[in-house]
Amino acid sequence: MLIAYTREVSPRLADCELTPLEREPLDVAGAMAEHDAYETALAQLGAAVRRLPSTPQLPDSVFVEDTAVVLDEVAVITRPGAASRRPETSSVEAVLAGHRPLVHVRAPGTLDGGDVLVAGRHIYVGLSSRTSRDAMTQLADSLAVFGYEVIPVEFRGCLHLKSAVTRVADDLMLLNPDWVAADVFGGHRAVEVDPSEPHAANALALGGAVIHPRHHARTRARLEAAGLSVMPLALDELAKAEAGVTCCSLLLRAP
């Protein structure tokens, strides 16, 4: 069974952390509607959608990807780089403990799940304002026993590594070449985002399709030209909170 853990949008979403976007008016009701459609898409593509406990007091808590890294053998509970987000991990930890052994990122290390890109036994970790080298070392030490190699990645221009690159097929990355170098991801081909859509690299491969923000139509055409089936979703309001389609769910396989 493929499970997608999500969390409803906080009514305080407009107070979210922002780096590097400028704050602009955000329609929270519209973001909630977009999130509902996102959960529907996950279910249509074969995931059993399960909502985590509501945390209305935590503005960023809908972005559950940042709280954990879930692998087949273990789940890593992160320590988010923004101190305001650290209370989000306790409820995620309680749920994931029923599925996987847990390891934790400890202070002073900080790690956001949005900086972690898993490709087989390679785990690419972006060095960002939210993710530290100390946390990367902890991650490498914890996962070496399972045969994973942790690879540091330099990037620029965006908040998280997965704002610059995501894996859209076994051997294919979608990336913004101005923000991250394609040659970092050895053995993978690359589809580059359209230059007019620098924020279009975040996509979620699931159930034989790729979920992608609807407003990035030119990059969507490039994905389709590469032979991928794309499911476009409205993400206009959530994007104002630096959301992508990967950050609103935690995916795991369960018996």
Confidence (pLDDT) at 248: 98
Q: Is the pLDDT of residue 20 over 90?
A: no
- Closest to 17 measured CA to CA, from 110, 82, 113, 87: 82
Average pLDDT of the residues in 19-32: 90
**Considering only 18-32, 47-61, 88-102, 147-161, which range has the smallest mean pLDDT?**
18-32
Examine the pLDDT at 21 and tell me if it is beyond 80: no
In this prediction, residues 170-191 reach a mean pLDDT of 96
- Per-residue pLDDT band for 255 (boundaries 50, 70, 90) equals confident
Number of domains in the chain: 1
Q: Please report the pLDDT score of residue 224 as a whole number.
A: 98
Find out whether the peptide bond into 80 is cis, omega within 30 degrees of 0.
Answer: no
Q: Are 80 and 86 in contact (CB under 8 A)?
A: yes
CATH number of the structural domain spanning residue 145: 3.75.10.10
pLDDT at residue 231 in the model: 98
Domain assignment of residue 235, given as a range: 2-253
pLDDT value at residue 244: 94
In this prediction, residue 84 carries a pLDDT of: 97
Determine the average pLDDT of the residues in 213-227: 98
Q: What percent of the chain has pLDDT over 90?
A: 96
| Range 162-185 average pLDDT | 97
Q: Is the pLDDT of residue 154 over 90?
A: yes
**Residue 89: pLDDT over 80:** yes
Q: In this predicted structure, what is the pLDDT of residue 22?
A: 82
pLDDT band at 254 (very low <50, low <70, confident <90, very high): very high
Catalytic residue list? 160, 247
